[in-house]
Chains A and B, each alone.
Chain A
Amino acid sequence: MPALNTQLELDDIQGIVLSGYGELPQASFLMLAFGDPEAARRWLGKTLERIDSAAAGRPQGGSRLHLAFTWPGLEHLELSWQALKGFSREFREGQAGSPRRSRILGDDGDSAPERWRWGGPHSRAIHALLMCYAATTEALETLLAEQRQILTEAGIEVVETLASQPLPGGREHFGFRDGISQPKLAGVSASQDKRHLVTPGEFILGYPNARDQYTMRPLVDPIEDPDGLLPEVIQDSDLRDLGRNGSYLVFRQLSQDVHGFWSWLDEVAPNPEARQALAAKMVGRWPDGEPLVKAPRRPAGDGADNDFGYHHEDAEGLRCPFGAHIRRTNPRDMLPPKPGTDDSLEINRRHRLLRRGRAYGPPLAESLAPDDLLSAGDDGQERGLLFLCLNADISRQFEFVQQTWVNNANFAGLHVDNDPLIGARGEGRATFTVQNEPLRRRYHDLPRFVQVRGGAYFFLPGLRALRYLAASPHRLTNGVSAPTAPATLLPDTWWLQAARKFNTAMEVGIGITRRFTRLRNVFDRAFQQPASDAVQAIILRRRRKHAIDADLAIAEERQLAGEEDVTQRITELMSAFLLRTYRHGTAERAGNTKTYGLLTAEFEVLELPDDLRCGLFREPRRFDAWVRFGGPGPRVTPDIRNNGVLSLGVKVTGVPGEMLLDDEEHTQDFSAISAPTFTTPDVYENAKLQRLIGAGLPVWYFLNPFDSHYLDMLLQGLYAKAHGSPFEVSYWSCVPYLYGKGRAFKYRFVPLLESQSQVPLPAPDNYLRLAMLRTLAKVEEVVFEMRIQFQEDPVTMPIEDASVIWTSPEIPVARLRIPRQEFAIAERDRLARELTINPWHALPEHRPLGNQNRARKQIYYETSRVRQRINGEEHFKP
């Protein structure tokens, strides 16, 4: 039984969800195409005032207005990409969006999307649906005229108008009473009927569904909803819920061939009574709505009734055929494995639809009596049903019913039978079987009675979501960088919290050991090199044993399997981190976060032998450069508390020639860190680390006994320490670059400074910057020597594995001269935040090599754009 205690936020749900508006029989549906997005948002802001929520109760005359959007419509309104990615795939693709969808919905032949009047691949794109309901035709006319005027003023075009015409007696065009069976929402409806009571979360997003889980819906970070327009997610998360109180609306224009239906029946049935009986067998009810299960042979005149099941009343289909329309669209308790029980009803509950359809077109005969419909002949008029239904999960509800029940020739053990009333036809699915004793009666070659003229999937937002859509957009990400919603929101369990506390404890512990700097320096002098060699020996032994990369040539790269996807996921993870962590104007880099100083410098290429003259080093000359000394992330912390690995970014300017990236011109960047190996050996491990950083558990990356990185941890530990000054540290590139054709190199910036700064204890938060200031006050210039080493062997000096230190001889090629200057000023700090150091700002001769370098191209580019948008900055071109 569904939970009865879900409290719905009635004032946020659009009224059409909770009521079919039987009191407003006139309706018209306008398909809209937006023009200018700003004008469309303004129009939305005005129109949403007119939309009634469910709290307004049942309408007492007058008119009602409701609004829904397609995915292209939401994209046009410039909704945040994070939210756009959070909608279900069916909605994103659209009803005509993939050949498979058309296959499973039975949209083939004349019903194929290519032939649709609207919503098909050749029709004008639809952005929104304006639903107008009124009590009288005059009221509807007035409403429509008024709305059309407003739409024209906003530059919004009405692509298609579908006017509904109510039929007498609540019937549809074939002459049968419609809309009898609807699910009843638990907690809203007073009904106690077990068969029809369904939890509201099956139709309204943001509430638990029939599996007691939350259906996926679009969520955004608080930074993209600074005004707090959206409700919060209920589970452990500070995300804001765009989908809450909304629903997915399925809209299909179904054209009914009334004449074809009754004349076919006339052909196969000998007399009017048999005709009506066969029609009733096809539907499952008599025209007045009485179910066959209760009155199998002739209508008893009791009228419409919805209180019945199938298994106990009619297990063999002798009353209501197995393939009848209502038995297919709502099997009630006949679903295996335990038909007739509550378990079976449980299963059925997960595939219910909340229908809000309206008839359209003039009736073929006013009375809608079968004999009159037959004798009226074919008047060539278009008529049928505007099928609308609401559900939270299009795939599990609407598409499931269409595919697994309606258009299934093998439904309930049948062989070649589709839904006789609305099903698609074709070879092997045009038969209707009427179970009977002693033998069934089969009818073959049924024509198709219902064709599809148009269709679309819409999202019907809650009122707060509408307000959010009308507000100015905060598009901080693009389609590539926006974080994808996870498959399910993971709860914050006790052991995750415990693991985070452990992580903090470890970090504090490491922080404490950092303070023993003198001891550490002694240890380093004695043990750093031998320990590093030992670890490398283990790594190299493994590489030699498996002959990893032995088949590669010098400077030859190898794409890792699935590399692009991993890169994409890292980009999304890092963007998600940025969105979650920063407020406007304060976003830092996701990595190499803290700036100690941004300094101007001179990059002097030395006199080199001929075989080394290549690319930037073609001839000895001096370039201007920016040099950024930075610290690790992911957040800005006091210097003593970071993870001990410093970074260097050099941006050489005025470099002639075409560069690999075109967002800047004539700049060659170098990026290095104060350890000879990267934290992660390749892009796969990097993705794991990023994911754990996002969860607040970076320590677990190294220590996880099921996926340990002990050697990497040791190597990092050997070089991560509290440094005295950024000027006194070597910076390694860790990953290789091209040096002209057929050669690969790594570089190192070696400090030529003689002094040895001590780490002051207790350490001020910015002691590293202070050390730099002190040094520049004493000396005229600080010099680094750039040394390179070439790859000599693909196995022991790999391109794709950043945890192996190359042991080839180092050759000095350039000097970085940093003159005395003022750098601890706000202007420089702001510039430092805007600057992007990306190793892909490079000459083609120095193309970055290796999977982590390849990944950096997209990651740096995208995350720096996200950062800049969060801060409202332009990309800085030096």
Chain B
Amino acid sequence: MKAQAALNVVMEVRPGHEATLRSLLERMRQDPGGNDILPFERLDTVHFARWVLLPEAHRRARRHCPAQLVLTANLDGELDGHLAELVDVGGEGLRELLGHCRDFPEDAGDEQIRRYLADNQHRVGAFYVNTLGRSLAQVRLEARLHDTLQRHLDDGEWGKRSATAIRQALIDFVAADDDLRDALTPANGPGRWRWLQGWLLLGGIALIGLILAVLLWPLTLLALVLLRLHELGNAPHNRRPRDEHVRVLEADEDRGVHNQLSAVGYIQPGPFRRVLLHIALWLLQLAVSWVFYRGKLAEIDTIHFARWVIIDQGSRVYFFSNFDGSPESYQDDFIERVAFGLNLVFSNGLGWPRTNFLVFGGANDEQAFKAYYRDHQIPTAVWYHAPAYTGLTAVNLANNAAIRAGLSGSMDEAQCRAWLQRF
């Protein structure tokens, strides 16, 4: 099984070059897949990718976080090989783009560009993948399978046959088709009992945590008091986002079935919050790679990929995600199904709606959360999704995978019936 990996490159922009960079990114935005700077479509294993220009941000005492250019991609397999491929596909346009970034060598050759990108790679705090090991090739194959079988079913007369007979007919049809024959073998996935290992692992950590908390009870008490003080001291931003800001963000939304979010915020000052955030991200990473890797993040089944990254020497975090449906339904899903999870991670951010004991309150305040979301969202300069994904939600992808899985193995009549309802 080839797991998906997160490419994450953060480069500082040369002062004064922001405007030119913006116009180059605008050019790329017109055609994320086939532009002349970095045509993502020619990269065989990229599911989703984006370029984001993090604008210059103010910091205390007249310092500032400079403007930064971020390149992220969700791809199959190990990262090292991909950088070379990326540089190869990029060529002259990529060199021009990166020339606006700090410390980019003059007249860089391919190897130097690759090394520059490798040097500027930034660790990802937590990386969520909807289904571990589902490569782009698999998505393509299963989508092709689904479409072909649907057309085949539409064209044929199936009224009189049993479900088992229909299934067999479909298997024969697939076997005869060169493009689809691979679907007869089951997909390569993670181990069957990985999730059980995951729950045991999390359970073990929870148990150890509880024991430590009880044994070191003065420390726990102190931590709770500190937490409460931090929560009282955090002034929620409570700002309604500006109309112009929202208009810019909305310009690119809801053009297909997928949407994306790029959001950035400050971490609350002080070591306590920083430590808490690191712990939260560590737990989150464990949970998403060992438990929530089979289609659902807690109860949410609409997210394809998501990542949390800490930048600027631990003073800011950015969160990028690719999901199905409208931002409104995305926000509603989060509030309804996993508000405590949001609070656990984001309450360490400056201006988050007020929480009580880390997991209560916070995102449960619907209007405060929705305002915070838009207020901290930044425009994504270039956003790419693989053509194989077009029109397919995560639920569709899971359905396609189940259809493919149903082509192999044996099924009784009732199971065949249920399988046929997937079409």
Contact = CB atoms under 8 A, between A and B. Distances in A.
Partners in one complex: yes
Interface string B140-177: 00000010001001100010011100100000000000
A21 B391 CA distance: 43
A316 B421 contact: yes
Nearest to A562: B58
Interface stretch (A99-107, A229-237, A281-289, A652-660): A99-107
Interface residues of A, number: 67
A4 interface: no
B391 A100 contact: no
Nearest to A542: B61
A454 to B, nearest CB: 22
Given A100-B253, A706-B269, A410 B395 contact: yes
Contact of A439 (B158, B247, B250, B336): B158
Interface stretch (A62-70, A208-216, A258-266): A208-216
A396 B368 contact: no
Nearest to B366: A211
B328 interface: yes
A561 B242 CA distance: 16
Interface centre among A98, A400, A438 (most CB of B within 10 A): A438
Contacts of B336: 347
A419 interface: no
Interface stretch (A9-17, A241-249, A480-488, A832-840): A480-488
Interface string B49-80: 00000011110111110000000000000000
B420 interface: yes
B230 A404 contact: no
Interface stretch (A358-366, A462-470, A545-553, A741-749): A545-553
A93 B55 CA distance: 27
A487 B368 contact: yes
A92 B337 contact: no
B372 interface: yes
Contacts of A403: 254, 326, 328-329
A400 B325 CA distance: 10
B348 interface: no
Interface in B326-356: 326, 328-329, 332, 335-337, 353-354
A333 interface: no
A651 B37 CA distance: 58
Most buried by A among B58, B153, B417: B58
B341 to A, nearest CB: 14
Given A92-B243, A403-B254, A413-B399, A707 B269 contact: yes
B62 A549 contact: yes
A98 to B, nearest CB: 6
Nearest to A560: B58
B332 A350 contact: yes
A408 B395 CA distance: 13
Interface residues of B, number: 73
A691 B235 CA distance: 10
A439 to B, nearest CB: 5
A409 B257 contact: yes
Contact of B367 (A215, A413, A569): A215
A350 B60 CA distance: 42
Given A490-B238, A706-B233, A438 B329 contact: no
B64 A561 contact: yes
A760 interface: no
A440 interface: yes
B337 to A, nearest CB: 6
A266 B241 CA distance: 51
Interface string A452-496: 000000000000000000000000000000001111101000010
A495 B251 contact: no
B62 A800 contact: yes
A798 interface: yes
Nearest to A318: B421
A410 B396 contact: yes
A428 interface: yes
B415 to A, nearest CB: 12
A706 B372 contact: no
Contacts of A495: 232
Nearest to A697: B235
A490 B236 contact: yes
Contact of B393 (A410, A438, A551, A798): A410
A548 B63 CA distance: 7
A487 B238 contact: yes
**Most B C-beta atoms less than 10 A away, residue of A415, A490, A704:** A415
Interface in A405-462: 408-410, 413, 415-416, 428, 435, 437-440, 442, 444
A408 B270 CA distance: 45
B45 to A, nearest CB: 25
Contacts of A100: 250-251, 253-254
A685 B61 CA distance: 9
B371 interface: yes
Contacts of A413: 395-396, 399
A408 B154 CA distance: 22
B421 A435 contact: yes
Nearest to A104: B254
A89 B233 CA distance: 31
A98 B247 contact: yes
A488 B238 contact: yes
B369 to A, nearest CB: 9
Nearest to B156: A439
A64 to B, nearest CB: 33
Contacts of B393: 410
B173 to A, nearest CB: 14
Nearest to B413: A438
A704 B60 CA distance: 14
Nearest to B390: A428
Nearest to A487: B371
A399 interface: yes
B255 interface: yes
B62 A681 contact: yes
Nearest to B324: A410
Nearest to B236: A490
A3 B182 CA distance: 56
B239 A487 contact: yes
Contact of A681 (B61, B240, B250, B417): B61
A704 B335 CA distance: 31
Contacts of A442: 150, 154
A416 B391 contact: yes
Interface string B386-398: 0000011101100
A565 B237 CA distance: 14
B301 interface: yes
A874 to B, nearest CB: 32
Interface in B208-252: 230, 232-240, 242-243, 246-247, 250-251
Contacts of B396: 410, 413, 415
Contacts of A562: 57-58
Contact of B328 (A103, A347, A395, A410): A395
Contact of B57 (A395, A543, A561): A561
A862 interface: no
B15 interface: yes
B357 interface: no
A444 B150 CA distance: 12
B179 interface: no
A89 B243 contact: yes
A400 B328 contact: yes
Interface string B246-285: 1100110111010000000000111000000000000000
Given A92-B243, A395-B328, 7 more contacts: A89-B246, A104-B326, A336-B299, A347-B336, A439-B423, A484-B239, A560-B64
Considering the complex of A and B, which 8 residue pairs feature the smallest CB-CB distances, nearest first? Answer: A487-B371, A337-B299, A100-B250, A488-B368, A561-B56, A438-B163, A410-B393, A486-B238
26 contacts: A98-B247, A337-B301, A403-B326, A404-B325, A404-B326, A410-B393, A415-B396, A416-B391, A435-B421, A438-B417, A440-B421, A442-B150, A442-B154, A487-B239, A487-B240, A488-B367, A490-B354, A548-B63, A551-B15, A561-B58, A569-B239, A705-B270, A706-B230, A706-B269, A707-B269, A801-B62
